[in-house]
Amino acid sequence: MKIYHVPCLEDNYSYLIVDETTKQAAAVDPVEPDKVLEASNSLGLTLKFVLTTHHHWDHAGGNEKIKELVPGIKVYGGSIDNVKGCTNAVENGDKVHLGADINVLALHTPCHTKGHISYYVTGKEDEDPAVFTGDTLFIAGCGKFFEGTAEQMYQSLSVTLGSLPKPTRVYCGHEYSAKNLQFALTVEPENLKIQQKLTWAKNQRQAGQPTIPSTIEDELETNPFMRVDLPVIQEKVGFKTPVEALGELRKLKDNWRG
């Protein structure tokens, strides 16, 4: 399994997931279909389907056009998310196969949108899995609670995604990492891992390189929104339950100007 970044718009990422045996590929959130197809063609791939994380235009906005450009292509999206151009609705637990070795598991991760899906992707046994988290989990951050509650985001982050194998690579929808890590440092100024990752992220961006992927293990160590079970985080925001702490953290982040 190989994964390629396709930078789109100002700070979005689309991705190509490739089964190396068959050269079959899936595109995640191909908001700029021409760019995604150009990348696919240059790698000699056959694009089989689209995985849409949620209905927002900067993720689903290319679906109709990619269907014109690749006749017969399937477009997967959350069953309750009203995804533009969707041909195959998925629910939590649904599986899709790609090529010889790749399996995709749909995980319902609601809050940012009510039908948001993250896609957990496994390849050969010796390869680390990957998860495509759209706008639910960002590197050191999480999406705004547009269509859901803190309880839902807690379930999505800490239960659904947090229970994935720790080496799982995290591919999210936007390049927000440096800003998110700056905010994370205001929550945990003594956290050495956040300090180190922020320095690394700034260097990556200065070199024109992505800060993605992260790993689930990394997020559990550096992402305040996945650390709300810890008393130190709860005390910092003045609440005694993880869900309340998560809600307060999101409010703080919404009002933080960095």
CA 167 to chain centre: 15
Among 59, 81, 116, 218, the active-site one is 59
Q: Is 5 a catalytic residue?
A: no
Residue 132 CA to residue 138 CA, distance in Å, equals: 10
24 beta partners: 19, 46
Residue 150 is which amino acid? A
H helix intervals, the chain: 33-42, 57-60, 63-69, 150-154, 177-187, 192-206, 216-222, 231-237, 242-255
Annotation marks residue 97 as catalytic? no
- Alpha-carbon distance of 23 to 40, in angstroms, equals 10
Q: Is 101 one of the annotated active-site residues of the chain?
A: no
Q: For residue 55, indicate whether it is catalytic.
A: no
Angle at 53 between CA 31 and CA 83, to 5 degrees: 75
Catalytic residue (choose from 55, 56, 108, 116): 56
C-alpha distance from residue 240 to each of 153, 234, 245 (Å): 17, 6, 7
Would you call 11 a catalytic residue per the annotation?
A: no
* Residues in the chain, overall count: 258
Query: Which residues, 6+ apart, have CB-to-CB distance to 92 below 8 Å?
Result: 106, 107, 108
H/E element holding 114? none
Candidates 108, 112, 116, 218; catalytic one: 112
Comparing C-alpha atoms, which of 38, 162, 30 is closest to residue 85?
A: 30
Asked whether the beta carbons of 21 and 141 are under 8 A apart, the reply is no
The residue from 55, 108, 116, 174 that is catalytic is: 174
- 81 is known as an active-site residue: no
Tokens of 116: 């948001």
From the list 29, 81, 135, 218, the catalytic residue is: 135
Has 135 been annotated as catalytic? yes
Catalytic site residue from 58, 81, 108, 116? 58
* Residues noted as catalytic: 54, 56, 58-59, 112, 135, 174
